[in-house]
Structure formats: structure tokens, C-alpha cells
Amino acid sequence: MSRSITYNSSPLLASPTPVWRSKFIVAAIALAFVGLAGRAVYIQVIENDFFQRQGEVRFARTLALPANRGRILDRNGVILASSIPVPSIWAIPEDVDRDPANLKKLAKLLGMSLVDLNKKLHDEDKTFVWLKRQVDESAGKEIEALKIKGIYQRKEYKRQYPEGEAVAHVVGFTNVEDRGQEGMELTFNTDLGGRNGSRRVIKDRMGRVVEAVGEQIAPVDGRDLQLSIDSKVQFFAYQTLKEAVLLHKAKAGSVVVLDVLTGEVLALANYPSYVPDKRQNLSGEQLRNRALTDTFEPGSTMKPFIIGLAMDTGRVSPQTGIQTAPGRMSIGNATISDSHPHSMLTVAEVIQKSSNVGTVKIAMQMPAREMWEMYSRVGFGQKPQVPFPGVVSGRLRPYKAWRPIEQATMSYGYGLSVSLMQLAHAYTVFGREGDLVPLSMLKVSQPRAGQPVFKGKVARDVRNMLHLVTGPGGTAPKAQTMGYSVGGKTGTAHKVEGRGYASKRYRGVFAGLAPIDAPRIAVAVMIDEPTNGKYFGGDTAAPVFSTTVQQTLRVLGVAPDMTVVPQVVTELVEESF
């Protein structure tokens, strides 16, 4: 039997419900749906850009597509600097598996202590931290094999320098971001670096790319740079210089080799040096490119320029006699003397014997202005026009401020200062027809015109005098070179100390040319503070010149112009300084 349900029997169901209440509830629900729909329209249509940006801030990333840095090559195409891809190790600290055994292995592969590794991973709020950048490829593979959660790798470019310390001061180096910091790497950083590309991606919290968005911009690789340096000449010059510095227990040394025909820098070496891609615990002593950044008083290497000026203006000839007895002379309260007294010397012998007295007597015949203008024309007191950081101009005071004693001392290299590059460059005047060729650190294909300084005959006459310096009776027989005729001038100068000169601290210098009849190269050498008993330029710098000339001319394929061996000289004629 069916039972009928009486709703009135329940007090709740029997209570009267107003019609407006149900309508209100339905209307409220409908209004909520309308609000949600409006909000959806607002977010997805009206303010879509704002929320899109907020999403991108949290998950979208712009990844750099690094350009491959250009190579640095020597004049023959030998690689001096190049970039290779290597792994860099990073981590998400809060995700790292802290298994002690694995972390110990990781620290060892990264070349750091476990304490240092834990310090890098200490901040649990970090979502990214570099552990070590640019590790060896083998280390990267071993780290990957550990499969430690939260440890990741990224490919970066690392700079390599195959020629090492021999070419360090020319090439320089880059930092971990592959930006040039020294040398040609810094000077031509924009050209070498190229332009990085980019791509926009969506990453998950693990740093993994899950989607590419937007247009990808391809990187533009850097341009290769071809230097004027010859890597073989550079290596031989550096090794010879290093041996001389160690032999004489000197503080440092530099050597510059120039092509007289083109003005190209074939070698520029300094010792001490450094390995460009291993720069731990370096000092300024190692990093400094002394041939361009250090200046010194050049001593007797200035005498050929004074003689050249006097001959160019018709005041003297190579055979003109100069009375130098009794080996000293006074200007005001100062006395100028020769290391060994001579009597009457020809102008050529003034250079051969390196007579201060003879040089001063010739210099004092000229107005100070003529000396200053000549020194300026050969580049003294001006920065060498080479694209290199830290190049210095040296010191050449205005001629109007010269006192007679200063004009006298400047004639034999005191009272002005030059860099070794300036000195080598100036000597190219005598190797050419009296003109100064522009310098270049980049390869030059053709000989270049220079700025006139002396007449061609004067340059040839001075060259013959320089040849006498390296022969019997000269101050630099140790500059003689097997198979090649050479010429040059020694210089030995006290080092400046405070307002005066140090009594037992010297620089030995030699600058010269080879072969003497048709010069191809100019070479300048400086040995700083030799302390092993010998300090004259003829003893310390001239042998470096000799070896460097012989090796350089052979590398350049210059035929020998001498069939006899250099004369063995047991006693060196000391130069005046």
C-alpha cells in the first residue's frame, strides 16, 4: 500500500519561504558568474599585456647566444689566441642533494675545498649560483657522471693562448666574461668580441627550457685579427732576453724588433712575463708591458741623433776633428767627463768611442730649438702611434726652459726620457733614407712612406759610424752577429732615485740595425738593474741584440752579407755615461 508524504508534518518544510529569497539567491549566483566572466574578459582581453608580462617575469628568460670571439693570429697565420667551448658548473642550492660523499667528490673536481663549496650552497633561497666557471672538459664529464641533483652545466667560451708567456704582453688576455682586459685583446675588444645573439624562452623552476617564444637573433662572430708579430721571432727574442736577465741577475728586461721597411713590430717581449690563461697570484711587475709603459733616460744612444743633426745642418762631417782632451769640460758649475780621456777625435770616432765631451762640444754649436725639433721629429716626447693600452709619451721639456747644462746633458741622453719602443722607432731613421716610418702592430702588406728627418746621405754616414761601434775599438763588439753586418749604439744610464741618481743602479741599453748596408730590422734592448758584476750596455744588452738579429734575419729569409765570423774581442771599450 502506497504511503503519501505529508510535508506539513516537518516543521522545517512547513515553514513558509518568501519568494524573493529564492530569487535573490538565483540572482546572486548569476551575478557571480557575470563577475567571473567579466574578470576573465578583463584578464584575457583588456589587461592581457600586463598579466602576460607578469607571467614572463616569472618564467620567461632571454638567453644570450654568445658570439665566438675572433682569433688573434701572427703575420703568418699562427694562432696566438682562440676560444674553445668549455663547461661551467652552476647549481640551484635548495635542490642540491647534500650527500657528503658526492659533495666531497664534486669539490675535488672543482678544485676547491668542501668548506668553500658548502659556502656557495649555503643560501637555500637562491635559485642560481655559479660553482665554477670554465672548468676542463674532462672535469665537466666527471661532474656530469656524478648525477648530483641540483647541479647543472652551461657551455661558455674560454680563451686559449698557445704561445704562452712569450707573447703575453702583446696579446694580453680576457676575463671570464670573454672581454679583453690587456693588450690587443683590450684594444680590439669590440672587433674581436662580435655581437651576441639572443632567444626568448620559457623555463620551468628547474631551469629547463620548455618552450621557445619570440624571434631568435643570431650571434655575429668576432673578426679575426692578424698582427705584425712573427711568432718565431717573438719566441727567440723572449728566450734570449730571459736568459740575459737571469744571467745578469737583473730586475727586468725588454726587447723590440721592428721591420725598417714597413714599420711593423715583429717582436715585443718583456721579462718577467706571465701565462695569459693562468694568472693566479700575478703582480704588476709581470703584467706591465715595459717596452711601452716604462720610460728611462737613454744615455749614449742619443749621440747618433746629435751627430746626425750636426751633419744635416752642415756644421760637421764624419772627418771633422773634435778636441776632447783632457777628457772633461765644465759648463757652469758642472763637469762633463769621458770614462777614458781621448785627444783629437773625428766625429765618427766620437760615436765609436762614445765620447761625452765630443758630443757636447758638437751639441753646443746648435740652438736648443734645433735639438728639440729634431728630437720631436723622431718621436721623443710623443706617444707612439700604436693601438695599445698604457702607451706613454716619455719626457721632453720645451726648449725654452733648457739651461746650457741641460742642453749639454740631453745630447748624451740625460734630462729626457723615452720608452724602448720610442728608441727602436727612432733608430729606423738611420735604417732608411733619413725618414721616420709609421709604426704598426697589424700586418702591413707594402713598404710605407715616412716623414723626413735627415738627408739620405746623413743617414748612411751615421749608419757607418754605428758599424764602427760594433767593431774593434768600439763599445759594443759583443753586438757582432754571425753572417750579418750590424751597427748600433750602447747606452748605460744611472737610474733616477728621488731627485738624483742611484750610484749603483743602472740600465744597460743597446739599439741598432742590420744588415748595415741595407737595413731590414731595427732592434732595441734594455736590461734593467743588472747586479752580477757587469752593467754596461755593451756587456748586458749587446749580446741580446746579436742573437736576436741573427735569428730574426734567418726567419725573414735575409741572405747573409758577411762571409767571415765576427772578430773575438776580449776587452770591451767602456762607454761614457
SS3 for 529-552 is CCCCCCCCHHHHCHHHHHHHHHHH
pLDDT score, position 502: 66
Helix-then-strand count for the chain, H and E = 21, 21
Nearest to 441 by CA among 71, 70, 165, 74: 74
HSE-CB for 182 with a 13 A CA cutoff: 20
Mean pLDDT, residues 338-365 taken together: 94
Burial class (CB in 10 A: 0-12, 13-18, 19+), 16: exposed
pLDDT of 103 reads 87
What is the rounded average pLDDT of the residues 132-144? Answer: 87
Categorize the per-residue pLDDT at 123 as very low, low, confident or very high, splitting at 50, 70 and 90.
Answer: low
- Is residue 486 scored above 70 in pLDDT? yes
Structure confidence at residue 64 (pLDDT)? 67
Close Cβ partners of 46 (under 8 Å, ≥ 6 residues apart)? none
Is the predicted pLDDT of residue 553 greater than 70, yes or no?
A: yes
Phi, psi for residue 376 in degrees, rounded to 5: -65, -40
> Which of 141-145, 203-207, 423-427, 459-463 is the least confident region?
203-207
- When pLDDT is averaged across residues 545-567 and rounded to a whole number, the result is 87
102 falls in which pLDDT band (50, 70, 90)? Answer: confident
pLDDT, tens digit (0-9, with 9 covering 90-100), for 249-279: 999 999 999 999 999 999 999 999 999 988 7
Give yes or no for residue 456 having a pLDDT over 90. Answer: yes
Q: Enumerate long-range contacts of 8-12, CB under 8 Å, 24 or more apart.
A: none
- pLDDT of amino acid 515: 97
- Please give the grid coordinates belonging to residue 81: 689566441
Residues 297-309: tens digit of each pLDDT = 999 999 999 999 9
**Is residue 441 scored above 90 in pLDDT?**
yes
Decide if pLDDT at 47 tops 70: no
Residue 196 CB contacts under 8 Å (≥ 6 apart), including other chains: 64, 65, 66, 67, 219
pLDDT at 410: 95
pLDDT-derived band at 135 (thresholds 50, 70, 90) equals confident
User: What average pLDDT does range 550-577 have in this prediction?
Assistant: 74
pLDDT value of position 65: 72
At residue 343, the pLDDT reads: 92
The DSSP symbol for 45 reads I
State residue 336's pLDDT score: 93
> Could you tell me if 525 and 545 are in contact, meaning their C-beta atoms sit under 8 angstroms apart?
yes
Q: What is the pLDDT of residues 376-412, one digit of tens each?
A: 999 999 999 888 888 999 999 999 999 999 999 999 9
Q: Are residues 269 and 524 in contact, defined by beta-carbon separation less than 8 angstroms? A: no
Percent of the chain with pLDDT over 70: 87
Residue 440 annotated as catalytic: no
What is the pLDDT averaged over residues 42-49? 73
State what percent of residues in the chain have pLDDT above 90. 56
Active-site residue among 254, 273, 300, 576? 300
Q: How far apart are CA 315 and CA 329, in angstroms?
A: 21
Residue type present at position 236: F
Where is average pLDDT lowest: 95-99, 177-181, 186-190, 548-552?
95-99
Host H or E run for residue 39: helix 19-41
Q: pLDDT band for position 211 (50/70/90)?
A: low
Written as nine digits, the cell of 109 is 673536481
Q: How far apart are CA 367 and CA 81, in angstroms?
A: 50
Q: Is the pLDDT of residue 570 over 50?
A: no
Q: Which residues have C-beta within 8 Å of that of residue 250, sequence separation ≥ 6?
A: 244, 527, 528, 529, 530, 531, 532, 540
Distance CA(287)–CA(392), nearest Å, equals 16
Closest of 572, 554, 326, 397 to residue 471, by C-alpha: 572
CB atoms under 10 Å from CB of 209, counted, come to: 12
Q: Give the whole-angstrom CA distance, residue 538 versus residue 506.
A: 13
Is 90 exceeded by the pLDDT of residue 157? no
Q: Does the structure show a pLDDT above 80 at 540? A: yes
Q: What is the mean pLDDT of the chain?
A: 87
pLDDT at residue 139, as a whole number:
87
> What pLDDT score does 33 carry?
86
